[in-house]
Amino acid sequence: MQEKSPEAHAQQRTGVRKVRIDAGQAGQRIDNFLRRELPGLPKGRLYRLLRRGEVRVNGGRVRAEYKLAAGDEVRIPPARIKAPGAAPAAHRTDDILRQVIYEDKRVIVIDKPSGLAVHGGSGISHGAIELLRHARPELRDLSLVHRLDRETSGCLVLAKRRSVLRTLHAKFREGQVEKNYLALCVGDWQIGEQLIDAPLLVTHRQGGERHVIVDADGKPAATRIRLSRRYRDYSLLQCSPLTGRTHQIRVHALAAGFPLAGDERYGDPEANRKLKKLGLPRLFLHAQSIAFPDDSGNDLHFTSPLAADLDAFLTKLR
């Protein structure tokens, strides 16, 4: 169950600070560094601080795209930021530690449960990253390497150092990361293996929620989809996103004519009502595996078994 934050709008004013950049922080853009140092500061305000020269690096002005170097001294001006919230309950940090499926000196991989956001925000005080930071306070640079939707379960990778984060982001850009998802769709998939190559555009509905559509003005996006097994009027699909766009698998499956089971945003309302009566508790989308080469070129491959609630639903359909 996701914890709501009673302190979502609490703020505090900080004083002037000077931060010396170490090797682990080097290489990141100054605007990204400031987002971490000034949590909750509106994006427009952050960029105004940079444009006005209120943020200084080694005594001089810098642009937002400036990349920090080890030894740089950053002057952070006073700002009104989000006040620290209450620590999460002990059982929640214990729970997140039980989800760790791999750890070494560079990364942590967890089996994220459905219903847990990857990070806090919009009234949510503690997502996966905040819970892990509370559980492992010595990992002060722990960062999300990629994201999963709140309802999606499965493999989630976090970097322990900024240098590792940059390296893994480069691997994503270069196509060296392989991700595989299991998704149940409405309908009988009889079209073999398909590469859905359709650009995706993020729009915003009333209320500010993100909604993604296939649109020529969108960003390039591609997903390889093939049938794993049929279940009555539904098909279990293996989905391999070749890019990492918001809601990519959900929108590409819809574009192919096969909305995902239990998808309240992009799915078929009538089919979802029927699925709920059959016992489907949520969106049927699970991050089954992720693989990427380590620094020595050896493949690291992590898997997560199908979440218990989804596995139980498939048993009902057999």
Q: Residue 123: helix, strand or coil by DSSP?
A: coil
DSSP letter (8 states) at residue 140: T
Q: Are 150 and 165 in contact (CB under 8 A)?
A: no
β-pairing verdict for 285-293 and 153-159: parallel
Nearest to 172 by CA among 197, 147, 195: 147
Q: State both tokens at 249.
A: 């698998």
Residue 77 to residue 173: CA distance in whole angstroms: 34
Pairing of strands 107-112, 153-159: antiparallel
Given the residues 31, 111, 149, 263, the one annotated as active site: 149
Residue pair 41/53 in contact by the 8 Å Cβ criterion: no
Confirm whether 72 is a catalytic residue. no
Scanning 174-216, the segments in alpha helix (DSSP H) are none
CB 14 within 8 A of CB 81: yes
Check if the beta carbon of residue 180 is closer than 8 Å to that of residue 238: yes
Q: Which helix (H) or strand (E) holds 158?
A: strand 153-159
Give CA–CA dist 154/147, Å, rounded: 11
Tokens 């976090």 belong to 158
Please, is 219 exposed, middle or buried when counting C-beta atoms within 10 Å of its C-beta (0-12, 13-18, 19+)?
A: middle
Exposure string of 16-42, with b = 16+ CB inside 10 Å and e = fewer, is eeeeebeebbbbbebbebbeebbebbe
Q: Are residues 148 and 156 in contact, defined by beta-carbon separation less than 8 angstroms?
A: yes
Report, as residue numbers or ranges, the catalytic residues. 149
